Amino acid sequence: MIKIRLQNEASSHEGEGRAQPRRRALKTFASIWKSEGLRGLYRGVGVTAAGYLPTWAIYFSVYEWSKSTLLVQFNTDTETSLIHMLSAVHAGLLSTTIVNPIWVARTRIMTQPPKPDPAFPYHYRSTLDALVTISRTEGWRALYKGLGPSIIGVSHVAIQFPLYEKLKTLLQDKSGNVSSFWILFASAASKMSASLVTYPHEVVRTRLQTQLGIHYDSLHVGTSEAAASSSAIKYRGLVQSVKVIMTEEGWKGFYKGFGTSLFRTVPASALTLLTYEILSSWLDRVAGVR
């Protein structure tokens, strides 16, 4: 919640831009707590779960399938970094494209006020309501806002998973096994490295996803058409958004919420990969694969 709010915080004021990231994160936390309470900090947790479940289900299925297919295509028994990278990109592109509408709904829900506000152009009651309302008032293409940055963000997994696989190889014991501790270490290290390189796409994606479409049905939400249109034209696309953020906020603007993001994503990613490795190994043994 805090990360999304920070990513969506556009500012052209130099003094605010120089504020310590930790101070901004704490200030955002305090603001949400004061105005919305504990529930406010967990707003959007349902839509987040609704997005992560299909994302990881699609990703891991396609990733393993791609690795097996490429081993046959390359006529080799050895999983190389190239195979890991191609598999990660393939899985990332497919999962990102399919699940993008849910991430648009999540961003909108997490950046809207807790109660309907006439000054705010939208208020969604649920994930389904967000998807239906966005489609009806802005067109189905609005559900794919931020897809460009997300596709560029596939480079994240192209860095993370090959590095993760390489670290696992380096950390395995003489019998070829990797302990849970080293799996956690490998996943955390690979996640941090990939995030450092690719994080700017998340900021651009969030800014685009919160922008209303030009044809938003202003009468439905009780705000003026001029207000709806004016809120929709600041970020018009990937390249233009990058230019606006760089001009108004400098390169630091692309790393808003980065520390908060690491605080959440690194342990989450580590636990996800550890759980996947344990369950995958267990299911293989049950199926008699190994």
pLDDT along the chain (290 residues), means of 10: 87 51 83 90 91 93 95 91 93 95 94 82 88 92 92 91 93 88 94 94 92 53 45 78 93 91 90 91 81
Domain assignment present for residue 114? The answer is yes
Q: How many whole angstroms from its chain centre is CA 119?
A: 28
188 Cβ neighbours under 8 A, 6+ residues apart: 266, 267, 269, 270
Dist CA 5 CA 169 (whole Å): 38
Q: Would 73 be classed as within a structural domain?
A: yes
Domain assignment present for 14 = no
**For residue 182, is it within any domain?**
yes
- Locate 182 and state its tokens: 């080293």
Taken as a whole, the chain contains a residue count of: 290
Please report the DSSP string for 125-164 in residue order: SSHHHHHHHHHHHH-GGGGGTTHHHHHHTTHHHHHHHHHH
Q: How far apart are the first and last CA of the chain?
A: 41
6 Cβ neighbours under 8 A, 6+ residues apart = 24, 25, 28, 256, 257, 260
CA distances from 199 to 157, 205, 234, 261 (A): 12, 10, 21, 9
pLDDT of residue 233: 67
CA–CA gap between residue 78 and residue 71 (Å, rounded): 7
Residue type for position 124: Y
Give the pLDDT score at 281.
86
Q: Is residue 46 part of a domain?
A: yes
Q: Which amino acid, 80?
A: T
Question: What is the domain range of residue 185?
Answer: 2-8+19-287
Per the structure, how many domains does the chain have?
Answer: 1
- Is the residue at 98 inside a domain? yes
Examine residue 259 and state whether it is found in any structural domain, yes or no. Answer: yes
Grouping H, G, I as helix, E, B as strand and the rest as coil, residue 96 is: helix
What is the value of pTM for the model shown?
Answer: 0.77
CATH code assigned at 145 = 1.50.40.10
User: Does residue 13 belong to any structural domain of this protein?
Assistant: no
